């Protein structure tokens, strides 16, 4: 165990044996390396109006001002003003841009990891347009470099490096796919040498959500497409992206995209996972340039297109339903209409939550928070917001398009003995195909 406590009583984890001063230097170097023009503009623009606080579920549900989004950026801001900004030499000379201390970094671990789901609601609320969520994610690069991330996340990082997935060794993947197909009586494709569609998965689909594996297959088979799962590129829920491990992020991105290219796929379908979409759809350009060699789409976009093309006919459920908008897919990904279109095609009468679409509340577990045990108490507080809105909408079903959101919402439901089941949009589609 590496769990420790700062002098101000805040728990933190530390990895490796580095001295505190070394950790601080590593974090600073990573902070500084990351800052380019766009984020410098944003780090300069804050007017300290505090409006971002009212958008953050962790502040709203606890009332504790320490969770104010902009405050989470303090180490990054300090690094910027001391080492990068236009007046950095002057500020250093006058001693008005203090050095970040190791103690501060340790203290900020809780703010950068435990109490930020990277949901971006604060970004939407900020009158200066500062993308706070993106800057928190960037802060994680420095924290990772310093060996100052929560142990639970570091464990997933290590496992992914070792296994190629946080859920299972890559060599077991093909077996899981075959077994799931056999169990559920669905024809599966695995490791085909040529295919038009490469289908990828999220870790939960290899453990508790295996139905999603056969459901995706069912839909693609129905469409008559040439598709495959592939042991060399299956893991989409990029742990590096969440942890601030940029090398791992690159590795996981390349595994999927290079495999898609190798098998001649024109489309890579991401699973029902929000962060997978953030990492692969919007950040793979970092390594491939603007034109990523394969089309990257989320399962929800795929379903929307399939329904719109008329190739996928669905039975009508004829019930009312509310939708939880996954933050990375909707607010930060722009996929607002697709899930609603698919719900309509299923004959679901949408009862929107009071805050829906771009302003929807986070499930509380994104950004690795659900995997970070230490964050359970505030995560459950955040869940309360969602639960209230779902109850107020009073629909028969509650649907989402992200496995991580589903896990978080179900954990919340169990904790509060709430009898609402969270449906996966993909599962609803697969269960209602017209033969």
By CB under 8 A, name the binding residues for another protein.
Answer: 35-38, 40-42, 44-51, 53-55, 59, 65-66, 68, 70-71, 84-87, 123-131, 281-286, 289-292, 330-336, 355, 357-359
Residue 118 interacts, among another protein, ligand SF4, none and using kind-specific CB cut-offs from 5 to 8 Å, with: ligand SF4
120 binds ligand SF4 (CB under 6 A): yes
Among 30, 102, 126, 149, binds ligand SF4 (CB under 6 A): 126
| 46 binds ligand SF4 per the rule CB under 6 A | yes
Minimum CB separation from another protein for residue 390, in Å?
16
User: Interface with ligand SF4 includes 117 (CB under 6 A)?
Assistant: yes
Q: Which does 41 bind (CB under 5 to 8 A by kind): another protein, ligand SF4, none?
A: another protein
* Contact of residue 42 among another protein, ligand SF4, none (CB under 5-8 Å per partner type): another protein
Instruction: Verify binding: residue 41, ligand SF4, rule CB under 6 A.
Output: no
The residue among 244, 240, 298, 310 whose CA lies nearest residue 271 is 298
49 part of the interface to ligand SF4, by CB under 6 A:
yes
Any contact of residue 128 with ligand SF4 (CB under 6 A)? yes
Q: Which is nearer to another protein, 4 or 38 (CB)?
A: 38
d(CA 198, CA 75): 40
Which region, judged by CB under 6 A, interacts with ligand SF4, from 111-119, 339-347, 401-409, 418-426? Answer: 111-119
Query: Could you tell me which stretch among 69-77, 231-239, 244-252, 348-356 binds ligand SF4 (CB under 6 A)?
Result: 69-77
| Least separation in angstroms between CB 138 and another protein | 11
Closest approach of Cβ 12 to another protein, in Å?
20
Residue among 16 and 127 whose Cβ is closer to another protein: 127
In the complex, the smallest distance separating the C-beta of residue 50 from another protein, rounded to whole angstroms, is 4
10: Cα within 13 Å, side-chain hemisphere = 17
Q: What is the C-alpha separation between 320 and 109, in angstroms, rounded? A: 41
**Min CB(336)–another protein separation in Å:** 8
Nearer to ligand SF4, 127 or 334 (CB): 127
Q: Shortest approach of another protein to residue 64 CB, angstroms? A: 9
Q: Please enumerate, as own/partner, the contacts of 334-337 that have beta carbons within 8 Å and a separation of 24 or more.
A: 335/277, 335/298, 335/300, 335/301, 337/304
Q: Contact positions toward ligand SF4, by CB under 6 A?
A: 46-52, 55-56, 58, 69-70, 72, 116-122, 126-128, 130, 132-133, 136, 362
């Amino acid at each position: 165990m590496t769990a420790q406590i700062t002098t101000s009583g805040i728990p933190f984890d530390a990895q490796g044996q580095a001295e505190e001063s070394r950790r601080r230097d590593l974090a600073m170097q990573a902070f500084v390396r990351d800052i380019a023009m766009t984020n410098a503009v944003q780090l300069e623009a804050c007017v300290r109006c505090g409006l971002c606080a009212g958008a953050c579920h962790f502040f709203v549900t606890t009332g504790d001002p320490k969770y104010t989004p902009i405050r989470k950026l303090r180490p990054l801001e300090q690094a910027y003003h001391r080492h990068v900004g236009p007046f950095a030499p002057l500020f250093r000379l006058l001693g008005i841009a203090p050095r970040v201390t190791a103690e501060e970094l340790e203290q900020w671990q809780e703010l950068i990891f435990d109490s930020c789901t990277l949901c971006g609601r604060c970004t939407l609320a900020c009158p200066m347009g500062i993308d706070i969520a993106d800057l928190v994610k960037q802060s994680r690069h420095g924290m990772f470099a310093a060996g100052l991330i929560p142990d639970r996340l570091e464990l997933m990082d290590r496992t992914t490096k070792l296994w190629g997935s946080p859920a299972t060794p890559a060599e077991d993947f093909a077996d899981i796919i075959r077994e799931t197909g056999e169990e559920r009586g669905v024809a599966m494709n695995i490791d085909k040498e040529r295919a038009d569609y490469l289908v990828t998965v999220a870790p939960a689909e290899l453990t508790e959500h295996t139905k999603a594996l056969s459901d995706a297959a069912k839909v693609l088979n129905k469409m008559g497409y040439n598709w495959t799962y592939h042991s060399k590129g299956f893991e989409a829920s990029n742990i590096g992206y969440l942890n601030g491990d940029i090398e791992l992020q690159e590795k996981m991105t390349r595994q999927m995209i290079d495999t898609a290219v190798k098998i001649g796929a024109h489309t890579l379908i991401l699973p029902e996972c929000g962060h997978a979409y953030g990492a692969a759809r919007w950040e793979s350009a970092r390594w491939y340039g603007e034109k990523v060699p394969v089309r990257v789409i989320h399962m929800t976009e795929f379903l929307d297109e399939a329904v719109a093309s008329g190739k996928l006919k669905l039975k009508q459920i004829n019930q009312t339903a509310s939708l939880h908008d996954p933050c990375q897919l909707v607010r930060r990904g722009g996929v607002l209409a697709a899930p609603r279109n698919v719900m309509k095609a299923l004959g679901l009468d949408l009862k929107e939550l009071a805050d829906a679409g771009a302003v929807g509340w986070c499930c509380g577990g994104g950004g690795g928070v659900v995997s970070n045990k230490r964050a359970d108490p505030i995560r459950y507080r955040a869940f309360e917001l969602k639960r209230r809105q779902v109850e107020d909408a009073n629909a028969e079903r509650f649907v989402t398009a992200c496995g991580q959101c589903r896990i978080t919402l179900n954990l919340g439901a169990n904790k509060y003995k709430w009898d609402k089941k969270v449906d996966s949009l993909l599962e609803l589609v697969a269960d209602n195909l017209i033969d």
